[in-house]
Amino acid sequence: MWQHKHLLEISHLSAQDIEDVFVLAERFLNFMNRGVRKFPALKDYSMVTLFFEPSTRTRISFELSARNLSANVIHFDTSSSSLQKGETLYDTLKTLDAMGFDFMVVRHKWIGAPHWIARNVSARVINAGDGTHAHPTQALLDAFTIKYFLGTLQDVRIAIVGDILHSRVARSDTVAFLKLGAEVMLCGPPALLPAQMKREKVLLTYNIDEALNWADVVIALRLQKERQKQGLIPSLKAYNRDYGLTPERLSKIGRKIWIMHPGPMNPGVEIEPVVAESNVSWILSQVKHGVAVRMALLYLLAQVKN
């Protein structure tokens, strides 16, 4: 039975918790596929989204999910808030908490910011990405998407390719996939692939062709372009040559391999547009499933009273 007031990281959830989210998400997805988009479940609840870093899909997906469940939704605009007048983050959070929000959805560059917020407010807190540390709802929707199409994650081989070092998605995905019985191979250039991420059922390789030949599913990560300025990769062109998901590279595998990307993408760097839009790509399904998964999560968190 679901007992979590907050979702701060995927490691706090059991495999059963994740399955509970999936069962409910699939129900919401089926309703939505039949054109039913509005549910009264959270009509007495309110949610504020606090994004101190840019976002398109996570923020909009959370806001749509909460609205689909009839919650009141407010976006906190950091650039026009009293933070600009010097109000501290602590006072800002206390102020919002005093307004009685039931959910705070937080993205912040500081690792552990959502954990700190959860200790200081009475609202339920959801981590929408903290620095390079965790992005638990991305992991839930990625795992849901694999299960939706393949029926299971048990023994599924999932390669995650790119800037593993700085990727909160790679960290949270790996934890979720292992909990559900998958095997993971992490692949990237030596400077972006930390050796300490190797463990049971997690393989490491610098060679993308090895990863693609091994995998059933490959997740390409966004290459953050500042990595080139930091000297961690020689050039974007070289990165595309050595780690890009190109039609030529994929055609050499000689079998179907499913393609995922958490977004936002750098077309022509980590993935070619023709691959992202091909019939083996689940990228837009990830986005669609994210709404159902977040609806399920909000519904379950709401069951745990303050």
User: Contact residues for ligand CP (CB under 6 A)?
Assistant: 55-58, 129, 138, 262-264
Which of residues 146 and 204 has its CB atom nearest to ligand CP in the complex? 146
| DSSP characters over 55-84 | -SHHHHHHHHHHHHTT-EEEEE-GGGSGGG
The least CB distance from residue 253 to ligand CP, in Å, is 26
Query: 145 is written with which tokens?
Result: 């998407």
Residue nearest to ligand CP (CB): 58
The least CB distance from residue 58 to ligand CP, in Å, is 3
Angle between helices 136-150 and 168-179 (to 10 degrees): 50
Which of residues 234 and 264 has its CB atom nearest to ligand CP in the complex? 264
**Spatial separation of the C-alpha atoms in residues 288 and 270, rounded to whole Å:** 22
Which of residues 189 and 290 has its CB atom nearest to ligand CP in the complex? 290
The least CB distance from residue 57 to ligand CP, in Å, is 4
264 preceded by a cis bond (ω within 30 of 0)? yes
Which of residues 56 and 154 has its CB atom nearest to ligand CP in the complex? 56
Pair 47, 62: CB distance under 8 Å: yes
The least CB distance from residue 293 to ligand CP, in Å, is 12
Closest CA to 153 of 120, 178, 125: 178
Which of residues 194 and 263 has its CB atom nearest to ligand CP in the complex? 263
**Spatial separation of the C-alpha atoms in residues 298 and 65, rounded to whole Å:** 8
The least CB distance from residue 129 to ligand CP, in Å, is 6
Query: 253 is written with which tokens?
Result: 């595998």
Place of tokens 């990727």: 167
Which of residues 46 and 55 has its CB atom nearest to ligand CP in the complex? 55
The least CB distance from residue 51 to ligand CP, in Å, is 8
* Cα 206 versus chain centre, distance: 24
Closest CA to 21 of 225, 266, 297, 288: 297
